[in-house]
């Protein structure tokens, strides 16, 4: 859902992306900065400061958007960059949810279910794309939505509710994507 407006957001952030490119930052460096901010967010969550963890998670999301914008501006869009971005996004997702779980900010079962769902949403997309199926914007909970729900729930003091929402909605998204794949790959 939010990925549909991603290009509009990227256009609005073009001046920032141009500035970062002018500083000599590569898209991959910005991706790594985003991971570092996610790790800081996780650490703050682990220390049981969900408000600041949520704010840092939104900042990490900013870097997740801006790295692609810098890649397009500088003409450095590469397959390797896309793979690096995807891998570091998975680490980020799991580190943040894991820290929330370890801090006791959510029920452990819901935290584990949310972790599994977050990984499976990304896995089914990658698997579908390997088979040549366009998986963009299929399902409710792409990464941007997951980050926003978790960050906002933490900022307003209901981290546990954000984790429950992730746990439920990520698995609904997996089912939506599986249905889309089955329809796309079935002989007609």
Which pLDDT value is given to residue 136?
A: 84
Which pLDDT value is given to residue 19?
A: 87
Structural Rg of the chain based on CA atoms = 17
DSSP 105: S
Which pLDDT value is given to residue 63?
A: 93
Determine how many CB atoms are found less than 10 A away from the CB of residue 139: 22
Which pLDDT value is given to residue 170?
A: 97
Which pLDDT value is given to residue 1?
A: 55
Residues with Cβ within 8 Å of residue 19, at least 6 apart in sequence: none
Which pLDDT value is given to residue 5?
A: 66
Instruction: Return per-residue pLDDT of the chain as tens, 188 residues.
Output: 555 565 677 678 888 888 888 899 999 999 999 999 999 999 999 999 999 999 999 999 999 989 988 999 898 989 999 999 999 999 999 999 999 999 999 999 999 999 999 999 999 999 999 999 999 889 989 998 999 999 999 999 999 999 999 999 999 999 999 999 999 998 87
Number of domains in the chain: 1
Which pLDDT value is given to residue 39?
A: 98
Catalytic residues: 89
Which pLDDT value is given to residue 187?
A: 83
Residues with Cβ within 8 Å of residue 133, at least 6 apart in sequence: 180, 181, 184, 185
CATH number of the structural domain spanning residue 145: 1.20.120.1760
What are the b/e assignments for 158-183, b being 16+ CB within 10 Å? ebbebbbbbbbbbbebbebbbebbee
Domain extent, residue 127, equals 2-185
Distances (CA, A) of 7 to 105, 117, 132, 176: 34, 26, 23, 23
């Amino acid at each position: 859902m939010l990925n549909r407006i991603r290009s509009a957001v990227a256009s609005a952030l073009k001046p920032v992306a141009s500035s970062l490119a002018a500083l000599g930052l590569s898209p991959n460096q910005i991706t790594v900065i985003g991971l570092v901010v996610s790790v800081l967010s996780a650490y703050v969550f682990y220390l049981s400061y969900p408000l600041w963890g949520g704010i840092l998670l939104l900042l990490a999301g900013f870097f997740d958007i801006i790295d692609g914008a810098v890649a397009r501006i500088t003409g450095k869009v590469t397959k390797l960059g896309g793979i690096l971005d995807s891998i570091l996004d998975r680490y980020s997702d799991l580190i943040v949810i894991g820290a929330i779980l370890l801090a006791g900010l959510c029920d452990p079962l819901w935290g584990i279910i949310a972790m599994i769902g977050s990984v499976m949403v990304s896995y089914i997309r990658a698997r579908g794309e390997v088979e040549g199926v366009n998986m963009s914007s299929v399902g409710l909970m792409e990464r941007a939505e997951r980050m926003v729900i978790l960050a906002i729930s933490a900022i307003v003091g209901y981290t546990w509710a954000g984790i429950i929402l992730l746990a439920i909605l990520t698995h609904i998204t997996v089912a939506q994507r599986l249905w889309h794949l089955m329809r796309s790959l079935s002989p007609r």
